[in-house]
Amino acid sequence: MPSSFRSLHALPCLQRGQVMVEYLIVAGMLAAALFATFPGADRSVIALLIQAFQDAWATYSYTLSFPL
């Protein structure tokens, strides 16, 4: 067998687990960006999203309370 064929054949074995490492890095960066507070903001993106859902639900439930 030519040596280039053997090196290409061994490549998938060496890269096993690389996708998991990349996934963990990206997931960690997303979690840090969503849960971290930024300068000038008193809450994180997740806290702002939760507050927006609570405000929307309060408005929706108030609208439903009107009699038809």
Domain ranges of the chain: 3-64
From first to last of the 68 residues of the chain, give the pLDDT tens digit: 555 555 555 566 666 778 889 999 999 999 999 899 877 878 888 998 999 999 999 999 999 998 87
Tell me the C-alpha distance between 45 and 6, whole Å.
Answer: 49
State residue 17's pLDDT score: 75
State residue 1's pLDDT score: 54
State residue 42's pLDDT score: 85
